[in-house]
Amino acid sequence: MAKTKKQQLEEQIAKLVGAGNEVEIETVDFSDPNRPKTVLEIDFPILPVNQVSAIEGNAGKPIYQMSKWWARRRSSVFRSMLLAAAMKAPDNPINAAKSVWDVYYANHQKKGALKHLKVADIFMGGGTTIVEGSRLGMQMYGNDLNPVAWLVVKNELANVDLEEVIRLAEHIESEVSHK
């Protein structure tokens, strides 16, 4: 079947931004006090991240809809901060911000580029950092004094059986809807 104009445009954009490219990423040895700097210590792609986060504000990403969390920050900001904090800065600082943006839409999990990194968000709140780090393939650890935060994050990361969820939703609907 021929692709629609919308599908063609989506494919072109995905290609342009390198969506899903399987990338390797050079990180630093955080246990070395003389380690080289990360991108975040040099620069940050604030302009493109700002643009993406403005669009994302209305996107209603399903994982973040599972509960209301006041003052939830935009996930694009956390994703790029985690990437910038993990990536070794290039020799020329002028390329630093771009090096993060170049791999923003990549598939970081496929080659396990970041899987050796352990990241703790000890004030995890609604879990944006935990979710975004997990999506990047990092080992995430979370903590919060608020048990609601714990419940929200636990369920954001739960391995659910979609069919069971649909069955349950249908059961609830059949119980409460007007007969």
Ligand X SMILES: C[S@@+](CC[C@H](N)C(=O)[O-])C[C@H]1O[C@@H](n2cnc3c(N)ncnc32)[C@H](O)[C@@H]1O
Total residues interacting with ligand X, rule: CB under 6 A? 16
How far is the C-alpha of 134 from the C-alpha of 146, rounded, in Å?
A: 21
Q: What would the x/- binding string for ligand X be over residues 49 to 88, using CB under 6 A?
A: ----------------------x-x----x----------
| Contact indicator for 121, 99 with CB cutoff of 8 Å | no
Give min distance, CB of 72 to ligand X, in A: 6
Q: Give residue number: closest CB to ligand X.
A: 125
CA atoms of 175 and 179, how far apart (whole Å)? 9
Q: Which is nearer to ligand X, 45 or 125 (CB)?
A: 125
**Identity of the residue, 73 or 88, whose beta carbon is nearer to ligand X in the bound complex:** 73
Candidates 38, 76, 99, 128: give the one binding ligand X (CB under 6 A). 128
User: What is the pattern of x (binds ligand X, CB under 6 A) and - over residues 130-169?
Assistant: -------------xxxx--x--------------------
Report the C-alpha gap between 5 and 16 in whole angstroms. Answer: 16
Among candidate residues 57, 50, 64, 59, the one with its CA nearest the CA of residue 127:
64
126 lies in the site for ligand X, by CB under 6 A:
yes
Nearer to ligand X by C-beta: 99 or 129? 129
Of 96 and 130, which has the nearer Cβ to ligand X? Answer: 130
State in angstroms the smallest separation of the CB of 60 from ligand X. 17
Backbone torsions φ then ψ of 108, nearest 5 degrees: -85, -15
Q: Name the residue nearer to ligand X (CB basis): 74 or 108.
A: 74
Residue ranges in contact with ligand X by CB under 6 A: 71, 73, 78, 121, 123-129, 143-146, 149
